[in-house]
Amino acid sequence: MDSPDTDLRTPAPSAPAAAPARVRPSRSGKPQGQWKVDGPTPLNSNEEVKAAGNGLDVRRRIEETYAREGFDSIDGDDLHGRFRWWGLYTQRKPGIDGGRTAQLEPHELEDRYFMLRVRSDGALLPPRALRVLGSIATDFARGTADITDRQNVQYHWIGIEDVPEIWRRLDTVGLETTTACGDTPRGFLGSPVAGIAADEIIDPTPVIAEIKRRFIGDPELANLPRKFKTAITGHPSLDVAHEINDVSLVGVVHPELGPGYDLWVGGALSTTPRLAERLGAFVTEEQAADVWHGVIRIFRDYGFRRLRNKARLKFLLADWGTERFREVLETEYLGYALADGPAPAPATGPGDHVGVHPQKDGRSYIGAAPTVGRIGGDLLTRLADLVEEVGAEGVRLTAFQKLVVLGVPAERVEDAVAGLEGLGLRTRPGALRRSSMACTGLEFCKLAIVDTKDTAERTIDELETRLADVEDQLEAPISMHVNGCPNSCARIQTADIGLKGQIITTDEGEQVPGFQVHLGGSLGRHDLEVPQLGRTLRQHKVAATELGEYVERVVRRYVAGRDSGE
């Protein structure tokens, strides 16, 4: 769940001088804002603001000035650009309906409160951290806290006056909001069962820790063309949606070199989705942080900056192709060649880790599903109590807006399951509740056209009744991803049923909130030749109020018409 940066204007580190002669200019002949090809002269207002200073510096201004003097003291470029470098976006003013989103100026949609993202990077959240996260929700965010599909915790209703105290509390448990948004290395997706799963190929914990230690908060990586997303896993369920990240390291076993990572680059969704591609390169644990650093610097130095909607790494990969990308990585950035390596096998399971599973140390981990990621401050605190009570270690967040309780002693598994269910965190959710996600939507997002989370919750409740008679025939989860606008923060194109928010016209000619439907997306299917992005069914537009009925029809048709094993 990741809002696009449409109104960004922001600051930066030193841009490298214009570049090696071996790099050819863009096909159009126009400068594309690639620093190493065209030089660092900014070609648009966003780049100008970024070139004027480093986005990371805004933290000092928040602490020393804005938090003391209040919302009205905030500089406009800081408010609409640089604040993102510390995970802060202004949220949508309440009461403006989605039909007016496109008609109003951004400032007319903007509230005086913020969304704030805390990155977890796949790390364990022990009870102390859960309590701190819960206290922030209760004390400063009107109780709100959502798990995002990038393993962040997202708050709403944050006042600028409270931000320094929030940072102070987060510091006490090693959590941060550094580059949680902005044109930066965003929060990492890390396998939620890293280091503990009995069937793990390689534990990515040391690699994630090294990349974070060396590079998060590095001013030299604080002015990228746009956001840069990372996913790292060593689990055979491929649990971090690696195909839709800018760079991914996926655990594989090399026949001679042993366990390590397969390198993928250039994935991203939004309105122009593109799945990541393998470079065919094997990365050892020792090489992984440097390889990550090489890929992100390629993006910084060669990424297209002229047009913001062409500024993701996927467009550079489309221009270069994988062979050239790998050659530039090896020759200009690493100074050595990577070994060729194998591809990961198709995913062994859904990767959400829902249910009870064995750990390699004899204990268990238990995945549970808060509906569409809503968790709240009170629940976070009660979850901390439960973790302590059953003698577990803590919680990790998943890439599917779910959570996993780790280190549950064998004799306490039933108590833990009962406790989670008592908190409304289902360990055996129905097929749709298990795999549904929703973005922020109309409640808080300035770009939203329709409501998402309430709509999804209501629809899931309704479908559990409507589909009760076929529930036992739904062996695999069915994913329903609800998005509030054409952007794809909740990954429309990767869901079985992807829903893109828009105003639709009913048969009676009435304009109502609804969704364009995409069907048939999935990730982790490397056994299939065709990329598994969902297809848009142009004729399928459904009013929000009729979503339950529509999804019921789709699911019943699937159950009746599927091939054996499908």
> What is the nearest approach in angstroms of ligand SF4 to the Cβ of residue 491?
9
**Cβ-based nearer residue to ligand SF4, 207 or 448:** 448
Residue type, 464: E
Among the listed ranges 179-187, 424-432, 484-492, 549-557, the one in contact with ligand SF4 (CB under 6 A) is 484-492
* Nearer Cβ to ligand SF4 (243/451): 451
Q: Is 534 in the site for ligand SF4 (CB under 6 A)?
A: no
- Burial class for 55, CB neighbours closer than 10 Å (0-12, 13-18, 19+): buried
- Cα(5)–Cα(555) distance, integer angstroms: 35
Torsion 394-398-401-402 (CA) sign: negative
Question: Which of 33, 122, 350, 484 is the binder for ligand SF4 (CB under 6 A)?
Answer: 484
Q: Which part of the chain contacts ligand SF4 (CB under 6 A), choosing from 79-87, 181-189, 300-308, 434-442? A: 434-442
**Is 487 a residue that touches ligand SF4 (CB under 6 A)?**
yes
Q: CA triplet 197, 198, 199: central angle to 5 degrees?
A: 90
Of the pair 349, 534, the CB lying nearest ligand SF4 is at 534
HSE (side-chain half, CA atoms, 13 Å) at 368:
23
* Closer Cβ to ligand SF4, 89 or 282, answer by number: 89
Write down the least CB distance from residue 501 to ligand SF4, Å: 6
Number of residues that bind ligand SF4 (CB under 6 A): 14
Where does this chain touch ligand SF4 (CB under 6 A) — which range of 10-18, 50-58, 438-446, 546-554?
438-446
* Interacting residue with ligand SF4 among 485, 497, 551, 554 (CB under 6 A): 485
Torsional sign, CA 310, 490, 144, 217 = negative
User: Which residues partner with 498 through β-bridges?
Assistant: 481, 518
Identity of the residue, 120 or 493, whose beta carbon is nearer to ligand SF4 in the bound complex: 493
Residue choice 12, 269, 279, 445 for contact with ligand SF4 (CB under 6 A) = 445
Contacting residue, 241, 447, 495, 544, with ligand SF4 by CB under 6 A: 447
By CB under 6 A, tell whether 489 contacts ligand SF4: yes
Per CB under 6 A, the segment of 42-50, 367-375, 444-452, 511-519 that binds ligand SF4 is 444-452
- Site of tokens 């990155």: 119
From candidates 483, 494, 516, 522, binder to ligand SF4 by CB under 6 A: 483
Query: Least separation, in Å, of the C-beta of 110 and ligand SF4?
Result: 14
- What residue number has its CB nearest to ligand SF4? 484
Q: How far apart are CA 234 and CA 191, in angstroms?
A: 7
Is residue 448 near ligand SF4 by the rule CB under 6 A? yes
From residue 80, give the alpha-carbon distance in Å to each of 6, 10, 309.
10, 8, 18
Contact flag: residue 439 with ligand SF4 (CB under 6 A): yes
CA-CA distance, 309 to 407, in Å (whole number)?
Answer: 43
Region from 345-353, 370-378, 443-451, 512-520 binding ligand SF4, contact rule CB under 6 A: 443-451
The answer to whether the CB of 234 falls within 8 A of the CB of 193 is: no
Identity of the residue, 279 or 450, whose beta carbon is nearer to ligand SF4 in the bound complex = 450
517 counts as binding ligand SF4 under rule CB under 6 A: no
Cβ at position 138, least distance to ligand SF4 in Å: 24
Annotate 102-140 with three-state secondary structure. CCCCHHHHEEEEEEEEEECCCCCECHHHHHHHHHHHHHH
Q: Measured from the CB atom, is 191 or 487 closer to ligand SF4?
A: 487
Neighbours of 509 (CB within 10 A): 6
Minimum distance from CB of 435 to ligand SF4 (Å)?
18
Give the shortest CB-142-to-ligand SF4 separation in angstroms: 19
Stated length of the chain: 566
Side chain identity, residue 24: R
Q: In this structure, how many other beta carbons lie within 10 angstroms of the beta carbon of residue 439?
A: 31
Region class of 236: left (phi > 0), else alpha (psi between -120 and 50), else beta: alpha
Q: How far is the CB of 441 from ligand SF4 (least distance, A)?
A: 5
What are the strands, taking DSSP E only, across 324-416?
A: 339-340, 355-358, 364-368, 394-397, 403-408
- 356-379: buried (b, 16+ CB within 10 Å) or exposed (e) per residue? bbebeeebbbbbbbbbbbbbbbeb
Applying CB under 6 A, does 244 fall inside the site for ligand SF4?
Answer: no
State which residue, 355 or 514, has the beta carbon closest to ligand SF4: 514
Which parts of this chain interact with ligand SF4 (CB under 6 A)? 1, 3-4, 439-441, 445, 447-448, 483-485, 487, 489
